Structure 1
Amino acid sequence: MSLIPTLRTERLVLRPPVVSDFPEYAALMASERAVFMGGPFDERAAWGMFASDIAMWPLYGHGALMIDVASTGQCVGQAGINHGPLFPEKELGWFLYDGHEGQGFATEAGKALRDWAFSTLGLKTLVSYFDPRNLPSMAVSARLGGMRDHGAAVPDEGDIVYRYPAPPPP
């Protein structure tokens, strides 16, 4: 897994997923919290998604990273850059496990991965796709500088798109 980077922020470590992350991931995907991602999902579907998060790294040079709190090592969620046949554009996404919202983890992880994608991959833009009811994640997107893009293609009818332009060159 040397292709997969580890990113560090002031409070977080974004690291490659490992098999021991799957039980908590599967539990989230089976819960009502997964409704904004098209769920809830059974274990088989969750495994396919988890494996896809990892497979994107050798296929596209990006994928998912687990979000650990640096001071404790506790995994609190995931941030990733999705693409492939299910996404019209490269998508910056995140989720947090229950009880870890409201602490700025999604914003901090999203910023780190967004900045990595622009500087390392040389991307000119990223988007985030949202179920219209997912107001907390849209607020995170706005904090990351995302702007509503009414004309962007969507993976699912009714999705709302926020776009992040690359920063100007230094």
Structure 2
Amino acid sequence: MFESGAIIIRTERLVLRMPGIDDFAAYARLMASPRSVGMGGPFDERMAWGMFCHDIALWQLFGHGALMIDLAETGECVGQVGINHGPLFPEKELGWFVYESRQGRGYATEAALALRDWAFATLGLPSLVSYIAPGNTASIAVAERLGARLDLTAPRPDPADLVYRHFDS
């Protein structure tokens, strides 16, 4: 489905780009930390590697996947945004994380908005969902800033998750 070539999405402050092997160490640290609890973690390195590879493989399988979030000005990687699917996700999910040292600067919202708009324009999706742990107030705020609304009837991979639905604007 995905033809070779790099996907790059630019915003005012960010460059969203395909993940590379140099991104794995920071990714694995985040997945091993308590911050990954909302994603089912913490995860050991082996599980983190499988998840990282899953994020990349989605491009080949579905024509979408994860993109790393780089600051346009410096090239520093500050997190990841992605569209997840496959047997672990009942619907296509828009997800994001920002490394702890870079939280609170609007990067997740900016990156998720850009990828969401790309997905609606390129993939022709009727909607996307975001699965969010109930205590993750930062991600709930991002979803709400993006205009997503709580969907109490949506299927979810974890019964405790909140599901926020995004529609094409």
Q: TM-score, normalised by structure 1?
A: 0.96
Determine helix, strand or coil for the equivalent of 2:160.
coil
Determine helix, strand or coil for the equivalent of 1:108.
helix
- Mapped to 2, the partners of 1:34 and 1:158 lie a distance apart of 15
Contact 1:30 1:42 in 2 (8 A): yes
1:15 — aligned with what?
A: 17
How far 1:4 sits from its partner (Å)? Answer: 4.1
Q: Supply the RMSD in Å over aligned alpha carbons.
A: 0.9
How far 1:2 sits from its partner (Å)? Answer: 3.2
2:128 — aligned with what?
A: 126
How far 1:100 sits from its partner (Å)? Answer: 0.7
Determine helix, strand or coil for the equivalent of 1:66.
strand
1:103 — aligned with what?
A: 105
1:52 — aligned with what?
A: 54
Which ranges of 4 or more aligned residues in structure 1 deviate by more than 4 Å? Answer: none
Cα pair distance change 1:4/1:152, threshold 3 Å: farther
- Mapped to 2, the partners of 1:134 and 1:98 lie a distance apart of 14
- CA deviation string 1:90-135 (max 9, x = no partner): 0000001111111000000000000000001111100000111111
How far 1:166 sits from its partner (Å)? Answer: 1.5
Contact 1:118 1:166 in 2 (8 A): yes
1:148 — aligned with what?
A: 150
Cα pair distance change 1:3/1:86, threshold 3 Å: farther
Q: Which amino acid in structure 1 is aligned with residue 130 of structure 2?
A: S
Determine helix, strand or coil for the equivalent of 2:69.
strand
Determine helix, strand or coil for the equivalent of 1:2.
coil
1:83 — aligned with what?
A: 85
Q: TM-score, normalised by structure 2?
A: 0.97
- CA deviation string 1:58-106 (max 9, x = no partner): 1000000000000000000000000000000000000011111110000
Unpaired runs of 5+ residues, structure 2, are: none
Cα pair distance change 1:157/1:4, threshold 3 Å: farther
How far 1:3 sits from its partner (Å)? Answer: 4.3
Contact 1:67 1:75 in 2 (8 A): yes
Determine helix, strand or coil for the equivalent of 1:71.
coil
Q: Which amino acid in structure 1 is aligned with residue 54 of structure 2?
A: S
Question: How many pairs were matched up?
Answer: 167
Q: Which amino acid in structure 1 is aligned with residue 18 of structure 2?
A: P
Unpaired runs of 5+ residues, structure 1, are: none
1:35 — aligned with what?
A: 37
